Structure 1
């Protein structure tokens, strides 16, 4: 793995979840970095989300991220905000960075206050881990119901030399942007302007992480944070450089978004729902989300059942403006429905092998308009119900 220049990683067990499980992580930049962030739109924003937004508002450089799993620090009021700030003070001393340059993130159960004794007790271990931990360790520390840690990387040449990108995320359930129960951290060693970095991140998140759904639920803690520290010595100056950096940032986030849906709680399928021909992108997204969030569509995916009528039904109640007779449905490239009626032939036989695949492409054309959208959606399984029924057990 080509790690971006100038970053160190940390991971420790504070027993926020279970004794011995990594549940506290950090990424530290050797020099303060340009920072960007995108956050949940839930009205009940968690304490670390509010803290990050406040810290990023003045545009100052940041030296790293601090993230815990096991407790969300959401719906915890003034005490939760105070605890969040105190965790930054504790970690700043352990990691030798200013507290006002450390961005926090949390994930886990809503409503519980931090046990600050555990936070204080774990700091020596967090400090020691800076010498030995790698990206995989930090990625494991942020997991909750994830079954695997999620990393993606890119290295590429700009006019001034090699630039590296590394992204990590967690997310498996309560996933439906904007955004999802997911945390995502990206580090880069290019020298890029703060304005361009924020605009690039927001744009790429909208095209990737904001285009996934597992269960239609939006979290209180969703956070995407990105640092660019310039440690490679490569400045992003020309238009070509900006295009190249954006292309690779998009690629890293696309890979992470796919891994989230692939690791959906109990998930076995990833549906690529493509909608075209809508009057506008908003209408296209309505169709994609109605199909991707439909429990009936999702359970059919789980059962490898080519019950295409559920897809048509969901598109019909999506609220998008289109004529029923204009809708054309293809599954795995097989034409299934057009002109208001199913195509002739044994569709069950044709679609059976397609429905057994892990990745299934569902294309829905609703007219000849310019609007389009794409959504990655998981299936809905018995394991999903079991995992979430027992989440706090």
Structure 2
């Protein structure tokens, strides 16, 4: 695995979830790093989201992440904010990092206050584990209903030498982004300015993680945060280096985005919804999200049912500005609908093999405009209902 220079990992079982299961993790940089973040726009932002936004506002460098699963620390008021700050104080002593240089993130059930006794008890083990744990261990510690941990790493050459990127995330349900989704952490060993790193992260998130949906629900805890510590000694100064770093950051985030949809709660399909020919990108996105969030489209995907009329219907109520007769629909490259009518032929027979695949490409063209968008969407299954009906029990 390509682990960026200067980062160590930790993970331990704090009994926030089931006893003995990893649920508390940390990533620490050997030197303070340039930090960037993108966060949920939900009005009910969790305590760690508010804490991170406050800490990142002044542009100072950060030394790591403190992450827990099992409790979201959302909708917990002033007590939740105080508990969040106290966890940073506890972790600072265990990890030998200043408390105001640790960025917190939490995931789990909304509304419950932290059991601070469990936090205090877990800290010595977390500190002892720092540098012993692997990135896989830390990725496991942030899982909730995820069935697999999600990691992506890459190494590439710039003018000044080798640079490494590593990303991890968790997410399987309550996924429909607006500025970010789920929890995702990126570490890089390049030397880059804070302004350029933040701009690059926002740009790449909007082209990747912001283009997935599982169930249409945006979490209170959504965040994507990134550190760049410069430990490789490679500075991002030229436009060429910036473009290459951006390319690889986008590739990492696209890989993580796909893994989220592939691991959607109960999910069996990933739909690649491509929209083109719109008057604006915004109109294209309206169509893509209407189709990707439609329960009828999603259940048809689950049933491998080539019920293309549900796709047309969703596009029609999306609110996008287009003429019905201009819409052209292709599924798996097969022309299904154009000029206001279905294409002749046995579509059930033609589309049957395509609908049985894991990955299904749905292309919708709505005119001759320059606007386009892409969205990854999961199906909606009986297992999704069971998981979320029983989530707290």
Common fold, TM-score beyond 0.5? Answer: yes
Q: Quote the residue 1:345 is aligned against.
A: 345
What are the superposed Cα offsets for residues 330-350 of structure 1, whole Å, 9 maximum, x if unpaired?
A: 000000000000000010000
3-state SS of paired residue (1:114): coil
Ranges in structure 2 where 5+ consecutive residues have no aligned partner: none
Map 1:208-219; keep pairs closer than 5 Å: 208-219=208-219
3-state SS of paired residue (2:42): coil
Map 1:305-344; keep pairs closer than 5 Å: 305-344=305-344
CA contact (8 A) 2:187 2:228 kept: yes
Map 1:149-298; keep pairs closer than 5 Å: 149-179=149-179, 182-298=182-298
Distance across 2 between alignment mates of 1:223 and 1:112: 20
Q: 1:261 deviation in Å?
A: 0.1
What are the superposed Cα offsets for residues 38-96 of structure 1, whole Å, 9 maximum, x if unpaired?
A: 00000000000000000000000000000000000000000000000000000000000
Higher mean Cα deviation, 276-285 or 127-136?
127-136
Distance across 2 between alignment mates of 1:38 and 1:142: 18
Q: Quote the residue 1:89 is aligned against.
A: 89
What are the superposed Cα offsets for residues 324-377 of structure 1, whole Å, 9 maximum, x if unpaired?
A: 000000000000000000000010000000000000000000000011000000
Distance across 2 between alignment mates of 1:9 and 1:22: 13
TM-score (norm 2): 0.99
Counterpart check, 1:102 vs 2:102: yes
Distance across 1 between alignment mates of 2:309 and 2:351: 13
Q: Quote the residue 1:8 is aligned against.
A: 8
RMSD, aligned CA:
0.6
3-state SS of paired residue (2:386): helix
Count of residue pairs brought into register by the alignment: 393
What are the superposed Cα offsets for residues 208-234 of structure 1, whole Å, 9 maximum, x if unpaired?
A: 000000000010000101000000000
What are the superposed Cα offsets for residues 90-122 of structure 1, whole Å, 9 maximum, x if unpaired?
A: 000000000000000000000000000000000
CA contact (8 A) 1:181 1:220 kept: no
Ranges in structure 1 where 5+ consecutive residues have no aligned partner: none
Counterpart check, 1:373 vs 2:368: no
Moved over 3 A (4+): none
3-state SS of paired residue (2:167): strand
CA contact (8 A) 1:179 1:218 kept: no
Q: Quote the residue 1:361 is aligned against.
A: 361
Distance across 2 between alignment mates of 1:245 and 1:180: 20
Q: Quote the residue 2:66 is aligned against.
A: 66
Q: 1:180 deviation in Å?
A: 6.0
CA contact (8 A) 1:190 1:229 kept: yes
CA contact (8 A) 2:322 2:367 kept: yes
Distance across 2 between alignment mates of 1:344 and 1:16: 57
